Amino acid sequence: AQSVAQPEDQVNVAEGNPLTVKCTYSVSGNPYLFWYVQYPNRGLQFLLKYITGDNLVKGSYGFEAEFNKSQTSFHLKKPSALVSDSALYFCAVILSTGKLIFGQGTTLQVKP
Amino acid sequence: EAGVAQSPRYKIIEKRQSVAFWCNPISGHATLYWYQQILGQGPKLLIQFQNNGVVDDSQLPKDRFSAERLKGVDSTLKIQPAKLEDSAVYLCASSSDAGAYNEQFFGPGTRLTVL
Protein backbone atom coordinates (compact mmCIF):
# COMPACT_ATOMS: atom_id res chain seq x y z
CA ALA A 1 0.00 0.00 0.00
CA GLN A 2 1.16 3.50 -0.78
CA SER A 3 1.83 5.69 2.25
CA VAL A 4 3.56 8.83 3.38
CA ALA A 5 4.95 9.59 6.82
CA GLN A 6 5.81 12.91 8.40
CA PRO A 7 7.74 12.01 11.56
CA GLU A 8 7.48 15.41 13.25
CA ASP A 9 4.19 16.84 14.48
CA GLN A 10 5.79 20.26 14.90
CA VAL A 11 8.96 22.00 13.79
CA ASN A 12 10.14 25.18 15.49
CA VAL A 13 12.67 27.48 13.88
CA ALA A 14 13.82 31.05 14.36
CA GLU A 15 13.19 33.59 11.61
CA GLY A 16 16.14 33.78 9.23
CA ASN A 17 17.33 30.26 9.98
CA PRO A 18 17.06 27.38 7.50
CA LEU A 19 14.11 25.03 7.89
CA THR A 20 13.50 21.40 7.04
CA VAL A 21 10.20 19.54 7.19
CA LYS A 22 10.68 15.80 6.82
CA CYS A 23 8.75 13.33 4.70
CA THR A 24 9.33 9.67 3.92
CA TYR A 25 7.32 7.55 1.54
CA SER A 26 6.50 3.93 0.83
CA VAL A 27 5.26 3.27 -2.70
CA SER A 28 5.45 0.52 -5.25
CA GLY A 29 6.81 1.75 -8.54
CA ASN A 30 7.94 5.28 -9.23
CA PRO A 31 7.02 7.81 -6.55
CA TYR A 32 5.27 11.01 -7.55
CA LEU A 33 5.38 13.39 -4.61
CA PHE A 34 3.79 16.69 -3.65
CA TRP A 35 4.01 19.27 -0.90
CA TYR A 36 1.01 21.37 0.09
CA VAL A 37 0.66 24.12 2.71
CA GLN A 38 -2.48 24.95 4.70
CA TYR A 39 -3.00 28.29 6.42
CA PRO A 40 -5.70 28.62 9.13
CA ASN A 41 -9.25 28.50 7.77
CA ARG A 42 -8.01 28.15 4.21
CA GLY A 43 -7.73 25.32 1.74
CA LEU A 44 -4.51 23.60 0.80
CA GLN A 45 -2.13 25.40 -1.52
CA PHE A 46 0.27 23.63 -3.85
CA LEU A 47 3.97 24.26 -3.18
CA LEU A 48 5.88 21.87 -5.45
CA LYS A 49 5.99 18.41 -6.91
CA TYR A 50 8.49 15.75 -7.97
CA ILE A 51 7.55 13.66 -10.97
CA THR A 52 10.88 12.94 -12.64
CA GLY A 53 14.19 14.60 -13.38
CA ASP A 54 16.32 16.72 -11.09
CA ASN A 55 16.27 15.54 -7.47
CA LEU A 56 16.12 19.13 -6.22
CA VAL A 57 12.74 20.63 -6.95
CA LYS A 58 12.06 24.35 -6.59
CA GLY A 59 8.61 25.61 -5.72
CA SER A 60 6.57 28.56 -4.53
CA TYR A 61 7.55 31.10 -1.85
CA GLY A 62 11.23 30.10 -1.93
CA PHE A 63 10.64 26.50 -0.90
CA GLU A 64 12.46 23.55 -2.38
CA ALA A 65 12.45 19.81 -1.78
CA GLU A 66 15.07 17.14 -2.22
CA PHE A 67 14.06 13.74 -3.54
CA ASN A 68 16.27 10.92 -2.23
CA LYS A 69 15.42 7.53 -3.67
CA SER A 70 17.84 5.53 -1.51
CA GLN A 71 16.42 7.02 1.69
CA THR A 72 12.84 7.14 0.34
CA SER A 73 12.59 10.74 1.48
CA PHE A 74 11.27 14.01 0.10
CA HIS A 75 12.17 16.68 2.65
CA LEU A 76 10.93 20.25 2.27
CA LYS A 77 13.50 22.98 2.79
CA LYS A 78 13.92 26.73 2.79
CA PRO A 79 17.23 28.57 3.29
CA SER A 80 15.79 31.40 5.40
CA ALA A 81 12.48 31.05 7.27
CA LEU A 82 9.92 33.84 7.56
CA VAL A 83 7.32 34.28 10.29
CA SER A 84 4.72 34.16 7.52
CA ASP A 85 5.83 30.60 6.68
CA SER A 86 4.14 29.41 9.88
CA ALA A 87 1.46 26.98 8.75
CA LEU A 88 0.56 23.29 8.42
CA TYR A 89 2.53 21.40 5.79
CA PHE A 90 1.47 18.18 4.09
CA CYS A 91 3.51 15.76 2.05
CA ALA A 92 1.57 13.55 -0.35
CA VAL A 93 2.02 10.83 -2.95
CA ILE A 94 -0.16 10.91 -6.05
CA LEU A 95 -1.40 7.78 -7.78
CA SER A 96 -1.89 7.38 -11.52
CA THR A 97 -5.63 8.02 -11.03
CA GLY A 98 -4.90 11.42 -9.50
CA LYS A 99 -5.70 10.34 -5.95
CA LEU A 100 -3.54 12.08 -3.35
CA ILE A 101 -2.49 10.17 -0.24
CA PHE A 102 -1.42 12.62 2.45
CA GLY A 103 0.83 12.38 5.46
CA GLN A 104 -0.52 13.49 8.81
CA GLY A 105 0.94 16.97 8.52
CA THR A 106 3.66 18.97 10.26
CA THR A 107 3.04 22.31 11.95
CA LEU A 108 5.81 24.78 11.23
CA GLN A 109 6.26 27.53 13.80
CA VAL A 110 8.67 30.33 12.88
CA LYS A 111 9.46 32.67 15.75
CA PRO A 112 10.71 36.22 15.31
CA GLU B 1 -9.23 32.69 -12.70
CA ALA B 2 -11.75 32.03 -9.96
CA GLY B 3 -10.82 29.33 -7.48
CA VAL B 4 -12.78 26.37 -6.18
CA ALA B 5 -15.91 27.56 -4.39
CA GLN B 6 -17.51 25.74 -1.47
CA SER B 7 -20.53 26.43 0.69
CA PRO B 8 -21.39 26.65 3.44
CA ARG B 9 -18.13 27.46 5.20
CA TYR B 10 -19.38 26.24 8.57
CA LYS B 11 -22.18 23.93 9.64
CA ILE B 12 -23.29 22.71 13.05
CA ILE B 13 -25.84 19.91 13.27
CA GLU B 14 -26.97 17.30 15.75
CA LYS B 15 -26.27 13.62 15.25
CA ARG B 16 -28.76 11.77 13.06
CA GLN B 17 -29.53 14.96 11.11
CA SER B 18 -28.68 15.32 7.44
CA VAL B 19 -26.38 17.87 5.80
CA ALA B 20 -25.27 18.77 2.29
CA PHE B 21 -22.18 20.52 0.99
CA TRP B 22 -21.77 22.18 -2.39
CA CYS B 23 -18.68 22.62 -4.54
CA ASN B 24 -18.07 24.48 -7.79
CA PRO B 25 -14.70 23.60 -9.35
CA ILE B 26 -12.46 25.76 -11.47
CA SER B 27 -14.01 26.28 -14.88
CA GLY B 28 -12.94 23.61 -17.34
CA HIS B 29 -11.60 21.18 -14.75
CA ALA B 30 -12.87 17.73 -15.55
CA THR B 31 -11.80 16.05 -12.31
CA LEU B 32 -13.38 16.83 -8.95
CA TYR B 33 -12.42 15.40 -5.57
CA TRP B 34 -14.01 15.40 -2.13
CA TYR B 35 -11.66 14.93 0.83
CA GLN B 36 -12.40 14.56 4.55
CA GLN B 37 -9.90 16.13 6.92
CA ILE B 38 -10.29 15.13 10.56
CA LEU B 39 -8.50 17.34 13.07
CA GLY B 40 -4.87 16.33 13.40
CA GLN B 41 -4.88 14.18 10.27
CA GLY B 42 -4.15 14.63 6.60
CA PRO B 43 -7.01 14.83 4.13
CA LYS B 44 -8.49 11.49 3.03
CA LEU B 45 -10.12 11.05 -0.38
CA LEU B 46 -13.82 10.23 -0.17
CA ILE B 47 -14.78 10.30 -3.84
CA GLN B 48 -13.30 11.31 -7.19
CA PHE B 49 -15.30 12.27 -10.28
CA GLN B 50 -14.11 12.45 -13.87
CA ASN B 51 -16.73 14.64 -15.55
CA ASN B 52 -19.95 13.12 -14.16
CA GLY B 53 -18.60 9.59 -13.65
CA VAL B 54 -17.16 8.15 -10.44
CA VAL B 55 -13.49 7.13 -10.63
CA ASP B 56 -12.88 6.18 -6.99
CA ASP B 57 -15.32 5.97 -4.08
CA SER B 58 -13.58 3.18 -2.21
CA GLN B 59 -13.35 5.15 1.03
CA LEU B 60 -16.82 6.68 0.94
CA PRO B 61 -19.07 5.31 3.74
CA LYS B 62 -21.87 4.54 1.36
CA ASP B 63 -24.41 3.71 4.05
CA ARG B 64 -24.54 7.38 5.02
CA PHE B 65 -22.56 9.42 2.47
CA SER B 66 -23.58 10.16 -1.09
CA ALA B 67 -22.25 12.47 -3.76
CA GLU B 68 -23.27 13.52 -7.22
CA ARG B 69 -21.99 15.58 -10.10
CA LEU B 70 -24.92 15.40 -12.45
CA LYS B 71 -23.84 17.83 -15.18
CA GLY B 72 -20.13 17.30 -14.82
CA VAL B 73 -19.60 20.70 -13.25
CA ASP B 74 -20.61 21.40 -9.64
CA SER B 75 -21.05 18.69 -7.05
CA THR B 76 -22.95 17.98 -3.85
CA LEU B 77 -21.84 15.77 -0.97
CA LYS B 78 -24.51 14.60 1.46
CA ILE B 79 -24.40 12.91 4.84
CA GLN B 80 -27.53 11.23 6.15
CA PRO B 81 -27.67 10.52 9.04
CA ALA B 82 -24.64 12.24 10.53
CA LYS B 83 -22.57 10.70 13.31
CA LEU B 84 -20.30 12.36 15.83
CA GLU B 85 -17.23 11.00 14.03
CA ASP B 86 -18.23 12.88 10.87
CA SER B 87 -17.03 16.12 12.48
CA ALA B 88 -14.31 17.27 10.10
CA VAL B 89 -13.43 19.72 7.37
CA TYR B 90 -14.71 18.65 3.97
CA LEU B 91 -12.47 19.83 1.18
CA CYS B 92 -13.31 19.97 -2.48
CA ALA B 93 -10.57 20.04 -5.09
CA SER B 94 -10.35 20.04 -8.86
CA SER B 95 -7.73 19.40 -11.49
CA SER B 96 -7.55 19.67 -15.25
CA ASP B 97 -6.26 16.16 -15.98
CA ALA B 98 -6.15 13.54 -13.26
CA GLY B 99 -3.88 11.23 -15.22
CA ALA B 100 -1.09 13.75 -15.73
CA TYR B 101 -0.05 14.17 -12.08
CA ASN B 102 -1.26 17.75 -12.18
CA GLU B 103 -1.70 19.78 -9.07
CA GLN B 104 -5.10 19.85 -7.46
CA PHE B 105 -6.66 23.17 -6.52
CA PHE B 106 -8.48 23.15 -3.20
CA GLY B 107 -11.43 25.15 -1.98
CA PRO B 108 -11.55 26.71 1.50
CA GLY B 109 -13.48 23.75 2.93
CA THR B 110 -16.64 23.29 4.97
CA ARG B 111 -16.12 22.77 8.68
CA LEU B 112 -18.78 20.38 9.99
CA THR B 113 -19.46 19.98 13.70
CA VAL B 114 -21.80 17.17 14.75
CA LEU B 115 -23.14 17.50 18.31
Provide the CATH number for the domain around residue B53: 2.60.40.10
B12-25, pLDDT tens digit by residue? 999 999 999 999 99
For chain B, the domain total comes to 1
pLDDT at B14: 97
Given a cut of 70, whether residue B95 has pLDDT beyond it is yes
B43/B49 Cα distance (integer angstroms):
17
> B22 lies in a domain?
yes
Nearest to B73 by CA among B21, B19, B31: B31
Contact B115, B15 (CB under 8 A): yes
Residues of A in contact with B99 (CB under 8 A): 96-98
Number of Cβ within a 10 Å radius of residue A13: 19
Between strands B10-13 and B110-114, the pairing is parallel
Instruction: Show me where the domains of chain A are located.
Output: 3-111
Residue ranges in chain A modelled with pLDDT below 70? none
Q: Which of B40, B48, B91 sits opposite A99 (nearest CB)?
A: B48
In the prediction, which pLDDT does B72 show?
Answer: 85
Residue closest to A103 by CA, chosen among B37, B32, B16, B110: B37
Q: What is the DSSP string of B25-73?
A: --TT--EEEEEEE-TTS--EEEEEEETTEEEE-TTS-TTTEEEE-TTSS
Do the domain assignments include residue B65? yes
CA distance A33 to chain B (A): 9
Contact B75, B107 (CB under 8 A): no
Pick from A76, A80, A85: which is nearest to A17 by CA? A80
The CATH architecture that domain A3-111 belongs to is Sandwich (2.60)
- Model pLDDT, residue A19: 97
Number of CB pairs, chain A paired with chain B, less than 8 A apart: 65
Do B46 and B57 form a contact (C-beta atoms < 8 A)? Answer: yes
Say yes or no for a CB contact (<8 Å) between B108 and A43. Answer: yes
pLDDT of amino acid B1: 64
Q: Do A46 and B98 touch (CB under 8 A)?
A: no
Q: Calculate mean pLDDT across residues B77-81.
A: 97
pLDDT at B98: 65
